[in-house]
Structure 1
Amino acid sequence: MQIPFLQRLQGLTGTPVNKIVAAGAGAEKAASERMLQHVLAGLPEVLGAAVVQVASGVALATYTSSREFALSKALGFNAEVVKQQQKALAALQLGPEEQLEEILITLHTQLHLLRLLPDGKRFLYVAVDCRDTNLGIAREVMRTCE
């Protein structure tokens, strides 16, 4: 049963867990939700996922499987990583065909992938436990979200 008061009360306790939370409206919101649904279908053990605007670092949609995974804190920093890498590639003057596609951050037990979407204005972020998920599968799921 959906009780609005209880839903608002749960929202005050922190980030919703095991639920896609979308911001904004219209087609962009719907597309962001669909991307995360696709990620969840392909990677059911995902720790966190988000669709993020590169310019502002604002999340259009997020999903986390644990309250301890502070996804919202990391997204702005990840957007900055993408922007700085784009600047570094521009400084190399590699040519227009060489565009940033993906950034992989490897930790001891986790893999964090940032994949630029075709419009170049947003990226898909996925964090997985490397003991549960194969890097190749994670990459393929992200690639097919586009």
Structure 2
Amino acid sequence: MNIETTLKEAMSIEGAIGVALVDYESGMSMGSLGGGQFDLEVAAAANTEVVRAKTRALKAINLDDHIEDILITLSGQYHLIRLMDRAGGSLFLYLALDRQRANLALARHTLRRIEGDLEL
């Protein structure tokens, strides 16, 4: 599926507020939907620093593993960062969810499936 379809499918997840596909090397968003409560483009770019910091941390502690996703919990929202499992890739899906309406386990499962179906 293409980027637009991927973003629409992610927005169909119960409780979705906004979603973006982001290149964490450049910090640029390749596409986004939603985010009316906050500036999704700014949030997506800022989360590149989260991904970079965690990647550096794994290297610093010599942990031979990879990041699947990063969860940030706020009092009213979940922010889920799903790194794309593609060789040489530097992309992640960023999904903001309303904490009262979202099922976090189901959202993670659905985002993993969506990521696998994305064709770039």
Fold match, TM over 0.5? yes
8 Å CA contact 2:21, 2:29 repeated in 1: yes
CA distance in 2, matches of 1:49, 1:75: 9
Give 1:56's match in structure 2, choosing from 26, 29, 41: 26
Q: Does 1:85 align with 2:54?
A: yes
Q: Normalized against structure 1, the TM-score is what?
A: 0.72
Q: Which residue of 1 aligns with 2:82?
A: 115
Q: Which residue of 1 aligns with 2:16?
A: 46
Structure 1 pair 113/69, CA: closer, same or farther in 2 (3 Å)? same
8 Å CA contact 1:52, 1:123 repeated in 2: yes
The structure that is strand-richer by fraction is 2
CA deviations on 1:43-69 (whole Å, 9 max, x unpaired) are 154111000001011011100152x32
Amino acid at match of 1:142: L
Amino acid at match of 1:101: E
Q: Normalized against structure 2, the TM-score is what?
A: 0.87
Whose Rg is larger? 1
**Percent of matched pairs sharing the same residue:** 35
1:104 shift after superposition:
0.3
Indicate the structure whose relative CO is greater, using CA pairs within 8 Å and at least 6 residues apart. Answer: 2
8 Å CA contact 1:110, 1:127 repeated in 2: yes
Any stretches of 5+ residues in structure 2 without a counterpart?
none
CA distance in 1, matches of 2:91, 2:9: 16
Any stretches of 5+ residues in structure 1 without a counterpart?
1-29
CA distance in 2, matches of 1:34, 1:118: 19
* Count of residue pairs brought into register by the alignment: 113
**Over the residues paired in the alignment, what is the CA RMSD in angstroms?**
1.5
Aligned to 2:57, what secondary structure does the other structure show?
helix
CA distance in 1, matches of 2:55, 2:15: 30
Aligned to 1:39, what secondary structure does the other structure show?
helix
